[in-house]
Amino acid sequence: MSAKIQIIGGGLAGCEAAWQAAQRGCSVELYEMKPNKFSPAHELELLGELVCSNSLRSNAPDSAVGLLKEEMRQLDSLIIRAAEATAVPAGSALAVDRQQFAAYISHVMAEHPRIAVIRQEITTLPQTDTPVILATGPLTSEAMTASLIELTGEKHLAFYDAIAPIVAADSLNREIIYRKSRWDDDTPGDYLNCPMNEEQYTHFIDLLSTAETVPLKAFEEPKYFEGCLPIEVMCSRGKDTLRFGPMKPVGLAHPETGKEAHAVVQLRAENRDETAYNLVGFQTKLTYAEQKRVFRSIPGLEQAEFVRLGSIHRNTFICAPALLDNSLQMKKRPGLFLAGQLSGVEGYVESAAMGLLAGINAARLAMGQAMAVPPPGTALGALIRHLTETDPAHFQPSNVNFGLFPPLPKKMRKRNRGEYRAEVALGLLKEWRENVHCAADQIC
C-alpha cells in the first residue's frame, strides 16, 4: 500500500485522524459534505463544528476525562491544541469559543501540506486498497448507514441526543443572577447562576412536566443516552430529580448573602466575549414555543433572548464489540477504520480520541507497520477495551470513566483513586510510546 489514506467526515474525529496521519507522513484525502449538504444539527461550513455543547468537560488530571485529555495532549492532539487556543472561562472545565474552535481546526486542515480537504458527500463505502477511516458522526446519512448495514449484515442501534438552548447575555437579569463557580469562594467564578426558592422550583417543575414536546416519528424509539438526557425526561423521573442533578444548589451559596437556594440553573459562557450563555444540562426536545415559555419562568431569564433553541436528533452507532477489532478496524473489512461517536463512544473528547487512534493505525497500516493499541490501564486503552470486549448483547455508548479501567490492585480512599489512576496511566502511556509508538512529527 502507498502511504495514503482516505477519511470520510470532517468533524472532530475525522480532523484529528487526518492530523495524526498527516503528521506521520501520510497523504490524506479528507471528505466533508458541507456546505453542499448539512446534517439536521449542523449550521457552520467550518470543519470541527461543535453542536451539543461548547464544553469538553473537566480538566482535572485526576478525573477520567481530564486524564484522557492529558494522554491526547501527549500525543499532540489537534483537538486539544484547538481547544486550549480558543478556551473560554469555565472553572475547572475546558470550554471553547465554538466559532473560533472550528475556525482553528479548519485553518490547520486547509494549510497542512499533506491534507487535501474535498467538499463532497460520500454515500457508499469506497472500494479501495487504501486505508479508509469512516468518521461521519452520530448523524451519519441514510445512504452511508445503508452501506454500513450491507457490509455488516447487522442493524445499527440508535438513541436520541438533545441540544441545550443558548441565551443572549444582554437579555439576562443581573439583579437576580450572580456569578460563582461551584465550591469556589475566592474568585468571582466562571458560571452565572439563576437561584430558585422552593415555590419557584415547584412552579418550574409543573410547567416543564406538562409542556409540549416534539413528537417522535412512528418508526422511532425513544432511546436516550443516560449522560445526556433531555431535561423533561429527567423531570419525569421525580419532582426532586433535577435539583439533585443539573439544578443542584450545593456549593453555590450566594456570594453576598451566603444563602443556598433550593435549586440553581447554571449558565456557561458560549464564547470568549461572553455575549451568549449555554443553559447547563438543559438539553431538550420541547417545542420551540414551549422552551421560551417554560425557560423564561426561571428567575433571571424572564426576558431571555434565545440565540439558539434546543432540539432533538438521532444518533447512530454500531455494535462495536461485534464489529471492531482493537485497532478500530472492521472485522469484516480490514483497512476500514471507524472513529468518533459512530464507533460507539459518547462525548466530544472521546470521539476525538478514537479519531486519534484511528489516524495513527491507518497511517501505520499504510506504511506496512503493526497496529498500535494502548494498554487498558490508560484512558485511551480503557475506551478501546469497552468498544471491543463488552458483551455485544448489552453494549451501549459510554463516556470515559474509571469504571472502564482494570480493577485497582488494592483498596484505597476514594479521593486518592483518580490520582493513582492518572499516575499509572501516564506511566503506561510513556512506555507504550517508547516501545511501539513515535513522536507525532516523525514518520513511524
Cβ burial of 217 (10 Å; 0-12, 13-18, 19+) is: exposed
Is residue 38 within 8 A of residue 90, CB to CB? The reply is: no
Crossing angle (nearest 10°) for helices 414-436 and 379-389: 90
Side-chain-side CA neighbours of 337 within 13 Å: the count stands at 35
Q: Residue 222: what pLDDT?
A: 73
Residue 444: per-residue pLDDT: 44
- CA 391, CA 384: separation in Å to the nearest integer? 14
State the amino acid at position 136 in one-letter form.
Answer: T
334 prior amide bond cis, ω within 30: no
What's the first-to-final CA gap in the chain, in angstroms? 15
Output the CA torsion 395→399→400→405 (10° steps): -30
Indicate the pTM of the whole model.
0.84
9 is in an annotated binding site: yes
If DSSP states are collapsed to H, E and C, what string results for the chain? CCCEEEEECCCHHHHHHHHHHHHCCCEEEEEECCCCCCCCCCCCCCCCCCCCCCEEEECCCCCHHHHHHHHHHHCCCHHHHHHHHCEECCCCEEEECHHHHHHHHHHHHHHCCCEEEEECCCCCCCCCCCCEEECCCCCCCHHHHHHHHHHHCCCCEEEEEEECCEEEHHHCCCCCCEECCCCCCCCCCCEEEEEECHHHHHHHHHHHHHCCECCCCCCCCCCECHHHCCHHHHHCCCCCCHHHCCCCCCCCCCCCCCCCCCEEEEEEECCCCCCEEEECCCCECECHHHHHHHHCCCCCCCCCCEEECCEEEEEEECCHHHHECCCCEECCEEEEEECHHHHCECCHHHHHHHHHHHHHHHHHHHCCCCCCCCCCCCHHHHHHHHHHHCCHHHCCCECCCHHHCCCCCCCCCHHHHHHHHHHHHHHHHHHHHHHHCCCCCCCC
263 annotated to bind ligand: no
pLDDT mean for each 10 residues of the chain (444 residues) = 87 98 96 89 89 89 96 97 96 93 98 97 94 93 88 72 88 97 84 97 98 78 78 96 96 93 95 90 95 98 94 84 96 96 94 98 95 97 95 86 90 89 96 71 44
12 annotated as belonging to a binding site for a ligand? yes
pLDDT of residue 242: 97
Q: What is the structure's pLDDT at 342?
A: 93
pLDDT at 220: 63
Q: Which three cell numbers stand for residue 353?
A: 480520541
pLDDT of the residue at 2: 58
* Closest among 382, 374, 387 to 431, alpha carbons compared: 374
Strand order in the sheet with 263-269: 178-179, 191-196, 263-269, 276-279, 166-168, 306-308
> And the C-alpha cell for 334?
480490514
Is the distance from CB of 331 to CB of 323 less than 8 angstroms? yes
13: annotated binding-site residue? yes
Pick from 27, 31, 131, 12: which is nearest to 77 by CA? 12
C-alpha to C-alpha distance for 297 and 209, rounded to whole angstroms = 13
Catalogue all structural domains in the chain, each as residue range(s) with its CATH number: 4-156+318-436 (3.50.50.60), 163-312 (2.40.30.260)
